[in-house]
Amino acid sequence: MNYVKTAMLLAVLTAIFVAVGALIGGQTGMVIAFVFALGMNFFSYWNSDKMVLRMYGAHEVDERSSPEYYGIVRELAQRAGLPMPKVYVMDSPQPNAFATGRNPANAAVCASTGLLQALSRDEVAGVMAHELAHIKNHDTLTMTIAAAIGGAISMLAQYMQFGAMFGGHREDRGGLGMIGTLMAIIVAPLAAMLVQMAISRSREYVADDVGAQICGRPMWLASALAKIQNYAHRIPNEEAEMAPATAHMFIINPLTGQGMDNLFSTHPNTENRIAALEALAREMGQPGGPRDDGGLGRDSNVGNDKDPGPWAQQRSRDASGPWG
């Protein structure tokens, strides 16, 4: 079913891209855009994950360079019955994370340095379990391709806006050409964003539920979501602000809400997500949060912002942090 949804998404985004091409160059522009879209779809299938990781300057870590973070992912992957994904860290002060890859055998998870510093070990486990849930549900292919093609549509609209500022296309079809250009500038990125919203909102709830069951502690993830939401609005993610089409990939919307691209959220309300996790915790007999038995290693003061987690202590001793 996820492959069918991915095909439908590609069809919609390709149609938007072709329509923009038609508005720019008529029938010739439509044909060129269609050929370009086909090539982009093929390229995105095989390389969109690498593109996103490079976009955020992520670097791979292993058991030697980041033993605790890597160990969390390894244990959770075993619990989820998944192949061990590649593990990355991106250098960003904003706590956040995402997963990418075309299938579970070629997947990767990525956490920011800010997340590893700000969250406790159990909260990091909750976040990574959520990302592994996206991999287990085969969400990452759709989400990553949407980011790549949505970004291309946004760039095309920006090109058209630049051309309109300098009087482009006026000689082609007079006022109609200018109206078409203005429509493409406004409608194309908006339509692409609406498609991304459609694939993101429902999937986040499902990934929260599956991730909570993978780690066995819904309140670990609930506490992490509350902290990340709090930090995300105060600490900008510069790479995400420059590439808002990738925002739906993150566990919490990384955009600060200062630009036009943030008028439409790609994520469901965080309070609603936390409420759903609290209800799941009660169903699992955990009304007060994590218990002493059955967890991933030691306990933590979940929900306590004064608990910086084990990484922050090492960070104070070594400026490079545990990820090298």
**Nearest Cα residue to 118 out of 234, 219, 209:** 234
DSSP single-letter state for residue 255? -
Place of tokens 């986040």: 204
Q: Which of 108, 116, 6 is nearest to 60 (CA)?
A: 108
The pLDDT score that the predictor gives to residue 95 is 96
Determine the pLDDT at residue 105: 93
Task: Supply the pLDDT for residue 6.
Answer: 65
Cα–Cα distance, 148 to 231 (Å, whole number): 26
Domain ranges of the chain: 2-317
Q: State how far the Cα of 134 lies from the Cα of 132, in Å rounded to an integer.
A: 5
Q: What is the pLDDT along the chain (324 residues), one digit of tens a residue?
A: 556 766 776 777 778 778 777 776 777 878 887 887 777 777 767 777 888 899 899 999 999 999 999 999 999 999 999 999 999 999 999 999 999 988 899 999 999 999 999 999 999 999 999 999 999 998 887 776 766 666 666 666 666 666 555 555 444 544 445 665 666 666 666 666 666 665 666 788 999 999 999 999 999 999 999 999 999 878 988 888 777 767 778 999 888 765 444 444 567 889 999 999 999 999 999 865 443 334 454 433 433 444 443 334 333 333 333 333
**Where is the binding site for Zn(2+), in residues?**
130, 134, 204
β-bridge mates for residue 297, sequence order: none
pTM of the model: 0.74
pLDDT of residue 109: 97
DSSP letters along 258-306, please? -SGGGSS-SS--HHHHHHHHHHHHHHTT-TTS--SSSSSSS---TT-TT
Q: What is the pLDDT of residue 208?
A: 96
What pLDDT score does 241 carry?
78
278: annotated active-site residue: no
60, 68, 123, 131: the catalytic one is 131
Cα torsion for 40, 98, 192, 106, to the nearest 10°? 30
- The pLDDT assigned to 117 comes to 94
User: How is residue 253 annotated by DSSP?
Assistant: -
- What pLDDT, on the 0 to 100 scale, is given for residue 232? 84
User: What sign results for the dihedral spanned by CA atoms 169, 170, 172, 175?
Assistant: positive
Q: What is the pLDDT of residue 242?
A: 78
Annotated binding site: 130, 134, 204
pLDDT at residue 118 in the model: 94
Ranges of beta strands (E only) in the chain are: 59-61, 86-90, 97-101, 107-112
